[in-house]
Amino acid sequence: MIERYFATCPRGLEQVLAAELAALGGQSIEPVDGGVAFAGDQALCYAANLESRVASRVLWQVGQARYRSEHDLFDAARALPWPRLFDVGHTIRVNVSAIRSPVKSLDFVTLRVKDAVCDAFRQQRGSRPDVDTQAPDVRIHAFLTRDQATFYLDTSGEALFKRGWRAAGGDAPLRENLAAGILRLTGWAPPTPLFDPMCGSGTFLVESAMMALDAAPGLDRSFGFERLSGFDADLWRTLREKARARRRRLDRLPIYGSDKSGSVLGMARENLAAIGLAGAVELKQMDVLDGGPPAAGGIMVMNPPYGERLGGTDELAAFYPRLGDALKQRYAGWTAYILTSDLNLARLIGLKATKRTPLYNGALECRLFEYRLVAGSLRRRKPAGGDA
Ligand SMILES: C[S@@+](CC[C@H](N)C(=O)[O-])C[C@H]1O[C@@H](n2cnc3c(N)ncnc32)[C@H](O)[C@@H]1O
């Protein structure tokens, strides 16, 4: 049976996610702001959860209706066959999001959708599911546009960027799926060396290692679809076993990380150990302004401290020109990708960006700047104001 799904993702990564879903066999793929609509069978839904490195959630569309009022939304939700979709013993949580909806309160709509679901159960099963907003068994999403409501069951459960490998956090760790999407945007693949000189807790290192090993990101976690009616345990087991058998075993990877902070490096080490790669990725305590590259060329990827989160802005204003000089002087042959929310970087770093990709880190608008570092790529710094 072909069903309709919507996979959410960090904004800016929709095309990367669309490519992933196409490679998994998705049909009718349609990227929109913040996610990708697609169609496929149950196996595709399981595979998207297991294999997508970029999706945040995979939502299964269970209903759609036109509406004008909160009352219509209650009726539309009430008409859906919830008791056939999951067991009354499961706890639920309802989430409502909207773009240009005329409703006055999303909290009120959330309550009404929850009431509609409970009503349907009470009438058909004689009892209703409990609500658990912290750790629900089943998540129900409603998405409202100006006049249309779409209802979804969340097949992921916990968000997909929670892979299960993060033992240690660091200062401002990147979301795993944002890091994986950035790695895809760089086009990196082994045997090209990959180097993160400000690796923090090692998100780029772990995600790139999992790509190098062809390790499915969802191998070690459970999913929301396991708690929905019609869950096909045999199909799921087969998919997971195939993914497990495919995972390569390598003792060395062309992946390198460094950070100026020794304690933060300890976190990266802990996170790599969680995926069994403590020795496969080379870690070094080093200031990016002082040290040199681990190989003759390759891809560098980094996210320097954000002005708002770490370090003062003045400190960063002094840091970027020095980073630009270090890259120019010591990293010819490398292509550097820098993720930052600080658009002053473009002006202060003194290098000519060969590409800028808008990306969102949660609500924070960022750019991924690409610098192809060839001898002579340093140019005069622009006066204040330009997005070089
Ligand atoms: C925003 S965090 C990186 C987070 C990382 N991508 C993660 O997911 O955990 C920035 C990191 O840069 C490091 N750092 C700051 N200045 C540095 C420098 N001059 N050389 C090397 N590392 C530096 C900090 O210790 C911090 O771990």
Cα(368)–Cα(245) distance, rounded to whole angstroms?
35
- Residue 365: per-residue pLDDT: 93
Of residues 190 and 305, the one with the higher pLDDT is: 190
- Report pLDDT for 308: 54
Strand 148-154, strand 138-144: pairing: antiparallel
Q: What is the pLDDT of residue 309?
A: 47
Which pLDDT belongs to residue 385?
42
For ligand 1, residues with CB inside 6 Å are 170-174, 197-198, 200-201, 203-204, 259-261, 264, 287-289, 303-305
Read out DSSP for 110-133? HHHHHHHHHHHHHHHHSS-PPB-S
Name which of 263, 270, 261 is nearest 166 in CA terms: 270
State the distance from the centre of ligand 1 to the C-alpha of 78, rounded, in angstroms.
Answer: 50
CA of 287 from ligand 1 middle (Å) equals 9
CB 48 within 8 A of CB 26: yes
**Assign residue 237 a region: left if phi > 0, alpha if psi is -120 to 50, beta otherwise?**
alpha
- Residue-level pLDDT at 205: 98
Distance CA 81, CA 174 (A): 39
Ligand 1 pocket test, pick from 161, 163, 165, 171 with the greatest ligand atom count within 8 Å of Cβ, gives 171
Q: Amino acid identity, residue 76?
A: A
Query: Rounded to two decimals, what is the model's pTM?
Result: 0.94
Q: Kindly report which listed range (8-22, 258-272, 315-329) carries the lowest average pLDDT score.
A: 315-329
Residue 384 has pLDDT above 90, yes or no: no
Dihedral of CA atoms 79, 85, 91, 93 in degrees, nearest 10, equals -50
Residue ID of nearest Cα to ligand 1 atom 1: 305
Judge contact between 40 and 83, C-beta under 8 A: no
pLDDT digits (tens, 9 = 90+) for 59-93: 999 999 999 999 999 999 999 999 999 999 999 99
Question: pLDDT tens, 15-60?
Answer: 999 999 999 999 999 999 999 999 999 999 999 999 999 999 999 9
State yes or no: pLDDT of 387 exceeds 80: no
Average pLDDT over residues 370-384: 67
Question: Contact at 8 Å (CB) between 312 and 362?
Answer: no
Domains of the chain (ranges; CATH) run 3-154 (3.30.2130.30), 176-213+248-372 (3.40.50.150)
